[in-house]
């Protein structure tokens, strides 16, 4: 009798374990598949950008400006740098201020970039009379990057141990000395990550720049207003649909530059973040 029950029990446990093992196998396979498919999509995108982009890279791309639907990308590359740097420079002081003071401007993330672009068009391009300009473009980019700088600054500052700040106060430091001399340097990797993130976003934006920076086939002549400026994402957007091979080649080359730049920034910020984590982990 006892042997019979044990046998039944043994069989029952065995089959339940089999089912669960099968479910486990299914589960891991499904999640691995999900990951692989996502990774595959990433590879697919990078493949087309790199393969077609490298194909279209001629020395001319880096030495000539855009001439109609052909030429090169020198003006676009320069323009992207100017606009992105301008945008980040304009965004850092208010972004830091928000991160320091913890104003809840995260909702700015919710505003679609086209709305910011249109707002910029009506206020800066038309009402202020700046027309298509580097200034209008940079301001629009700054508004878009602000929440990211603010959020990462806030998170980085929050990680700075209170003891550090309290000790500084105890020694008689002013607010400014504590923030600029202690908190910010300690949180620097995190803050820099935010700035790099803003740079990456600025390099990749299109819609707002269409209505604020316009487009120019020439190198920037230094005018901040009343002078349109070129940028790489315009080339991608406008030239890929042109039926001329030279235009499409430029679009791929531009996509290559933009993607490369974004990749480099992402790697850099990952490196920075790893460092800061290491420090935080030990404190």
Partner 1 sequence: MISGGPILRGFRWRWLRNRLFSFRSLTALLASLVGFILVLMVVFLALYAWPAVRLNGTGFLTQNSWNLGNLYGNPITVHGQQILPGAEYGILFLIAGTLLSTAIALLIAVPFGVGAAMFLSEGVPPPVRPWISFFVELLAAIPSVVYGLWGYVVVIPFLGHHIFPLVVRWLGFLPFLGGPAGSGYGLFTAGFVLSLMIVPLITATLRDALVGQPPELRDGAMALGATRFEALRTVLLPAARRVLVGSTILATGRALGETMAVLMVSGNALNYLPSNIYTPISTMASFIVSQLDSALQDPTGMAVRSLAEVALVLCLISIVVNALARVLLHYQGRHLLRAF
Partner 2 sequence: MLLHHRRVSALTHRLILGGCVLVLTFAASVMPSANAAKTGGSANLLETGSSLLYPLFNLWVPTYTQSNANVRITTQSTGSGTGISQAVEGIAQIGASDAYMSDALLKEHPDMLNIPLAISMQMVNYNLPGLNQRHLKLSGPVLAEIYQGKVKTWNDGAIASLNPGVKLPDHGIIPVHRTDGSGDTFIFTQYLSFSAPEWGNSIRYGTTVSWPAVSGGLGAVGNPGMITATKDNPYTIAYIGTSYQNAIEKDGLGIAMLKNRDGNFVLPEAKTADAAAAVMVAKTPKDERVSLIFAPGADSYPIINYEYAIVNRKQPSADTAAALRTFFTWAISPSGGNAAHFMKEVNFVALPAAVAKLSADQIAEIR
10 binds partner 1 (CB under 8 A): no
39 binds partner 1 (CB under 8 A): yes
Among partner 1, partner 2, none, what does residue 84 contact (CB within 5–8 Å per kind)? none
Residue 66 CB, nearest approach to partner 2 (Å):
9
Q: How far apart are CA 75 and CA 81, in angstroms?
A: 10
Cα three-residue angle 16-18-23, rounded to 5 degrees: 95
Q: How far apart are CA 180 and CA 29, in angstroms?
A: 50
240 binds partner 1 (CB under 8 A): yes
- What DSSP assignment string belongs to 150-182? HHHHHHHHHHS-HHHHHHHHHTT--HHIIIIII
Contacting positions for partner 2 (CB under 8 A): 67-69, 78, 81-82, 85, 125-126, 131-132, 185-186, 188-189, 192, 214-222, 227-228, 238, 241-243, 272, 275-276, 278-279, 282-283
Residue of the chain from 236, 247, 253, 272 that contacts partner 1 (CB under 8 A): 236
Cross-strand partners of 71: 66
Residue 13 CB, nearest approach to partner 1 (Å):
11
Residue 223 CB, nearest approach to partner 1 (Å):
25
34 binds partner 1 (CB under 8 A): yes
Nearer residue to partner 2 within complex by CB, 132 or 252 = 132
150 binds partner 1 (CB under 8 A): yes
Residue 238 CB, nearest approach to partner 1 (Å):
10
Nearest residue to 141 (alpha-carbon basis) of 216, 62, 240, 229: 229
Contact string 69-108 vs partner 1 (x = CB under 8 A) = ------------------------xx--xxxxxxxxxxxx
- Is the distance from CB of 157 to CB of 183 less than 8 angstroms? yes
Q: Compute and round to an integer the Cα radius of gyration of the chain.
A: 26
- Is the distance from CB of 214 to CB of 132 less than 8 angstroms? yes
Residue 130 CB, nearest approach to partner 1 (Å):
17
Nearer residue to partner 2 within complex by CB, 104 or 241 = 241
Nearest residue to 197 (alpha-carbon basis) of 262, 102, 278, 101: 262
Q: Which residues in 206-235 contact partner 1 (CB under 8 A)? A: 206-207, 210-211, 233
- Is the distance from CB of 154 to CB of 193 less than 8 angstroms? no
Among partner 1, partner 2, none, what does residue 40 contact (CB within 5–8 Å per kind)? none
Nearest residue to 257 (alpha-carbon basis) of 16, 94, 39, 49: 49
């Amino acid at each position: 009798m006892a042997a019979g029950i044990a046998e039944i029990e043994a069989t029952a446990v065995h089959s339940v374990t089999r089912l669960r093992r099968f479910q486990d196998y299914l589960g891991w396979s499904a999640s691995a598949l999900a990951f692989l498919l996502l990774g595959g999509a990433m590879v697919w995108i990078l493949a087309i950008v790199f393969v077609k982009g490298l194909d279209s890279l001629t020395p001319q791309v880096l030495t000539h400006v855009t001439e109609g639907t052909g030429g090169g990308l020198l003006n676009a590359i320069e323009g992207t740098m100017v606009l992105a740097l301008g945008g980040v420079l304009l965004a850092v002081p208010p972004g830091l201020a928000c991160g320091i003071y913890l104003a809840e401007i995260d909702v700015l993330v919710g505003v679609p970039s086209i709305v910011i672009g249109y707002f910029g068009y009506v206020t800066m391009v038309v009402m202020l009379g700046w027309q298509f300009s580097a200034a209008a473009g940079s301001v629009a980019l700054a508004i878009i990057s602000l929440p990211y700088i603010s959020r990462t600054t806030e998170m980085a500052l929050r990680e700075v141990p209170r003891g550090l700040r309290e000790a500084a106060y105890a020694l008689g430091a002013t607010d400014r000395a504590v923030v600029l001399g202690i908190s910010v340097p300690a949180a620097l990797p995190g803050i820099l990550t935010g700035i790099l993130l803003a740079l990456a976003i600025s390099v990749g934006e299109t819609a707002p720049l269409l209505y604020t920076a316009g487009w120019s086939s020439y190198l920037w002549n230094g005018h901040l207003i009343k002078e349109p400026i070129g940028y790489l994402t315009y080339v991608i957007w406008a030239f890929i649909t042109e039926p001329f091979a030279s235009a499409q080649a430029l679009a791929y080359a531009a996509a290559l530059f933009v993607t490369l730049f974004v990749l480099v920034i992402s790697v850099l910020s990952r490196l920075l973040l790893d460092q800061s984590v290491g420090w935080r982990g030990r404190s």
